């Protein structure tokens, strides 16, 4: 530590310059006009173009398909025709004894929530 303080300031600066690598001409420039900037832009454009092509192919396939409304109507009618086994067929309780344990609310003050 003492030896470093006793060195002239020019010598200390030269050591710092030796530690920091100088930029050479072989490194590509990373600015907007540099090689890496142009390469990234070209890669982004290529990626977007491939996504556009995939979407266009999907649209072409959708145009070739028939109308789906007929199939949807058939599906809805078949689902509606079969009763749901989890829902009761009647709106009232199946067993009147259950009314004793699960009474409906008579007024708004007796609601739990």
Tokens representing 44 are: 């982004």
**Does residue 89 contact residue 83 with C-beta atoms inside 8 Å?**
yes
Q: What is the mean pLDDT of each run of 10 residues along the chain (113 residues)?
A: 51 51 54 73 95 95 79 85 76 65 60 55
pLDDT of residue 42: 92
- Domain residue ranges in the chain: 32-74
**Does residue 103 contact residue 97 with C-beta atoms inside 8 Å?**
no
pLDDT of residue 51: 97
Q: What angle do CA 90, 91, 92 make, to 5 degrees?
A: 95
pLDDT of residue 91: 66
- Look-up of token digits 């009232």: 92
Q: What three-state secondary structure class fits 83?
A: coil
pLDDT of residue 22: 53
pLDDT of residue 29: 56
pLDDT of residue 58: 93
Which residues have CB under 8 Å from 102's CB, separation 6+?
93
């Amino acid at each position: 530590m003492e030896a470093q303080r006793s060195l002239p300031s020019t010598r200390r600066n030269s050591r710092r310059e030796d530690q920091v690598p100088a930029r050479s001409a072989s490194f590509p420039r990373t600015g907007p006009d540099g090689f890496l900037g142009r390469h990234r832009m070209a890669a982004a454009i290529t990626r977007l173009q491939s996504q556009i092509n995939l979407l266009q192919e999907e649209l072409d396939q959708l145009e070739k398909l028939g109308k789906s409304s007929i199939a949807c109507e058939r599906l809805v009618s078949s689902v509606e025709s079969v009763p749901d086994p989890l829902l009761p067929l009647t709106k009232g309780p199946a067993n009147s004894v259950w009314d004793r344990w699960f009474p409906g609310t008579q007024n708004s003050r007796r609601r739990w929530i």
